[in-house]
Amino acid sequence: MKNQYDLIILSNDFSKILSEFKVLEYEKELIPVNHKLFNFKPSYLSPAYHFNRFDKVTSEFFEIDLPNLIKKGSIDENDFSLLTVKLHLETNTLLYSLKMSLYRIVFFMSKFYKGVSPNNTFGRIREDGKPKSMMAEVVRLKDSDKIMGLIHNNYIDWISEAVKPRDTITHYENLSFIETDESKFTTIFSHKEKNINSFGREELKIYVDKWYIFINEFLPLILTEKINNENN
């Protein structure tokens, strides 16, 4: 099996960030924020956890399950269908976990930005350029605020592409898979109007990698820019 995310290391990384907030809990009246941050840990770890699950199931499918079916000489349609359902479920769950984790940062934004409500979604920038929900405030302040600039840059770099497949599987269709060389695969969407490119493991790995780069910069910035900064 390919290299997986070390959840213990990631958990320790999160604990270090949490401890920096805890030090200022009473001085800066952070009890509600710290309580929410403590409960954020599953969201922090979720993309890595589900990527590991995704990797395990896809490896088993191409290296064990599919070869075993082929050895039988005839492939039972029901058996094959059940195996591909596993691929759908793990891929769908990984995509959902990324968007869920992004949605959870809205609470922290609402504590420090009057224009962001805890009832907002993360939002998006429509094809006509109009931002929706929290992204409207991000676009408005991106040039004058480090945190908003960080979110906007990550949205343009990877977030907008990472959440499109999740929106498609929610509203339109499941994924289809085709096998390529060396037991790799790619996903195919028929909804071309969604402007979604086909993607495979490497693209999903990039999304998860960038989630951790982003969140490990975002949370410390909340601390330095919005909590320690006496002008805020």
Question: Does 184 fall in a domain?
Answer: yes
Provide the domain limits for residue 122. 7-227
Q: What is the mean pLDDT of residues 96-108?
A: 95
Domain count, the chain: 1
Question: Is 102 in contact with 158 (CB distance < 8 Å)?
Answer: no
Question: Does 67 fall in a domain?
Answer: yes
User: What tens digit of pLDDT does each residue of 131-174 get?
Assistant: 999 999 999 999 999 999 999 999 999 999 888 877 777 766 66
Question: Does 135 fall in a domain?
Answer: yes
Query: Which whole-number Å values give the CA distances from 130 to 9, 133, 185, in the listed order?
Result: 39, 10, 35
Per the prediction, the chain carries an average pLDDT of 86
